[in-house]
Amino acid sequence: MVNVMKTDQEYLDLDKQLLWHPYTSMSKPSPHFLVEKASGCEITLNDGRTLIDGMSSWWSVIHGYNHPTINQAIQEQLAQFSHVMFGGLTHKPAIELAERLVAITPSELQRVFFSDSGSVSVEVALKMAIQYWNTQGKPNKQFFVTPKSGYHGDTFAAMSVCDPENGMHNLFSAALTQQYFISPPPTGLNEPVKTEYLEEIRKTFEDNHQRIAGFIIEPVVQNAGGMRFYNPEYLNQIRALCDEFDILLIFDEIATGFGRTGKLFATNHTHICPDIMCIGKALTGGYMTLAATLTNDKVALGISENDGVFMHGPTFMGNPLACAAANASLSLLSEYNIPEKITQLETWMKEALGPCEQLEQVKEIRCLGGIGVVELKNAVNLHEIQPKFVELGVWIRPFGKLIYLMPPYVISKEQISTLGKAIHQIASEQAC
């Protein structure tokens, strides 16, 4: 029997004893902070301290916490039903969400497959590509090309297309499918396209296209692999190469979707359309876990008119509560002037992070849309640095050499300024 009459410290002690948090040691865990409530862009801890959230809870809470519109949508759906299986049954929230997604994503993406998380949406995309080619009489096309410095999730197929050397999954390398890796896209949004990089891709395709099912990439921004920004023109050229060598193009928009790069989708920085696109994170406004894999008729009908069924079916696929939250989030998003709102956010972050450029410890400052990055010359110690940010009244979670911001879109200029001052102070204390 669980005793609910516990002190906050007892809860924290139990957390340390029982819960295995992400990317955390159980024997030497990083400090964890007990959240009492959250509203707007602030997280309130059990001891009364409030933290300005610079992370959007891993890039998902774009409208802030406890938003009345999304709250109401979930409550109304809860009063009807919270879940039904998606095999043989359907419901209006899922149908409405699919209709909305098809309307706002690139025009060729007309089919929607829901799943539980971003990582699973990548699994779905890879399975779609392999099954498609199997139905086309090309069963040897089982592998994928992807740039190094990429990140696509923590499940097995997704891990196989993450950076094999500097990523988080190299200890699993012997168990993973061995994919084809190319160099990461050259950095610089406005840097001229390097033909030698495209030639590397062409050579990989020429030598291996009979085995390659797809090319998967995070458009414009490689996120967890280093917050690297690159020229969208590379994607236009990659599309042409994929067409030439009969390879499906897959965009992972899990982190970049729903306005984060200054356009509704990073794909909108290009003039092309992928064959398959993965979305998640901000899809529900950060309320519930939900993702989607969108594809074109070529893939969807290519599978359906040959094999008949796509071999994937999550238990909580198309969860009605999550779909209701996503519909409400998209309604809120439609009220924003995304280019104007995110450009303003980018300007604020450039101003707030600008002073860090003078620090000897800092290698580079870069901002794009709702992403602000301070890259240090040396990696930080998360165990030590996280509590320091909390002491300064902000919630920022660095990784590696990067201290970065992906705040909610509703954040104020004053709150961004506070985040910037905290980063400047902490960065100045790091070793050169």
Count of domains observed in the chain: 2
| pLDDT at 166 (0 to 100) | 79
Please tell me what DSSP assigns to residue 180: E
Sign of torsion, CA 417 419 420 424?
positive
Checking if the pLDDT of 122 tops 90, the result is: yes
Mean pLDDT of the chain: 96
Cβ of 9: how many Cβ atoms within 10 Å?
10
**Residue 56 forms part of a structural domain:** yes
Q: H-type helices in 209-280, by residue range?
A: 233-244
Residue 204 within any structural domain of the chain:
yes
Shared domain check, 62 and 200: no
pLDDT at 2: 58
Is 13 a known active-site residue? Answer: no
Instruction: Examine the residue annotation and report whether 23 is marked as an active-site residue of this protein.
Output: yes
Query: 391 with 325, same domain?
Result: no
Tell me if 2 is assigned to some domain. Answer: no
Residue 115 shares a structural domain with residue 260 = yes
172 pLDDT above the threshold of 60: yes
How far apart (Å, rounded) are the C-alpha atoms in residues 326 and 288?
A: 9
Residue of 65, 151, 197, 287 with catalytic role:
151
CA distance 120 to 136: 24
Q: What are phi and psi of 429, to 5 degrees?
A: -90, -10
- What helix, strand, coil percent values describe the chain, rounded to 5? 40, 15, 40
Bind-site residues: 58, 118-119, 151, 252, 281, 313-315, 397
**How many whole angstroms separate alpha carbon 164 and alpha carbon 172?**
9
Task: Fill in the amino acid letter for 25.
Answer: S
**Per-residue pLDDT for 16 more than 70?**
yes
Residues 277 and 266: their CA atoms lie apart, in Å, by 11
**Catalytic one of 116, 163, 252, 275:** 252
Q: For position 168, what pLDDT does the model report? A: 75
Domain boundary among 300, 335, 370: 335
Same domain membership, residue 247 and residue 223: yes
Same domain, 226 and 269: yes
Per-residue pLDDT, 308? 81
Instruction: Indicate which residue of 6, 8, 15, 23 is catalytic.
Output: 23
Question: What pLDDT shows up at residue 223?
Answer: 95
- Binding-site members for substrate are 58, 151, 281, 313, 397
Cα distance between residue 68 and residue 328, in whole Å: 10
Q: What is the pLDDT of residues 191-226, one digit of tens each?
A: 999 999 999 999 999 999 999 999 999 999 999 989
Task: Note if 234 is an active site residue.
Answer: no
CA trace torsion 29, 33, 36, 42 (10° rounding):
-130
Contact between residue 403 and residue 376 where contact means Cβ atoms under 8 Å apart: yes
Is the pLDDT assigned to residue 1 strictly greater than 60? no
- Residue 347 is assigned to a structural domain of this protein: yes
Residue among 148, 263, 281, 401 flagged as catalytic:
281
d(CA 293, CA 275): 10
Q: Is residue 1 part of a domain?
A: no
Residue 88 lies in a domain: yes
The 10 Å Cβ neighbour count of residue 391 is 11
Please indicate, yes or no, whether residues 302 and 363 belong to a single structural domain of this protein.
no
Quickly count: other Cβ atoms within 10 Å of residue 32's Cβ: 13
| Binding site listing for pyridoxal 5'-phosphate | 118-119, 252, 314-315
* 243 belongs to the catalytic site: no
Q: Which residue has the higher pLDDT, 43 or 171?
A: 43
pLDDT of 29 strictly over 90: no
Residues 48 and 161 placed together within one structural domain of the fold: no
Range of the domain at 420: 8-66+337-430
pLDDT over threshold 70, residue 3 = no
97's tokens: 């969400």
Model confidence pLDDT, tens digit, residues 292-346: 999 999 999 999 998 789 999 999 999 999 999 999 999 999 999 999 999 999 9
Q: Provide the pLDDT confidence category of residue 431 given band limits of 50, 70 and 90.
A: confident
Q: What is the pLDDT of residue 84?
A: 97
Distance CA 163, CA 160 (A): 8
Give the CATH number for residue 426.
Answer: 3.90.1150.10
Same domain flag for 170 and 232: yes
* Domain stops at, among 303, 335, 367: 335
Rounded Cα–Cα distance for residues 429 and 422 (Å): 11
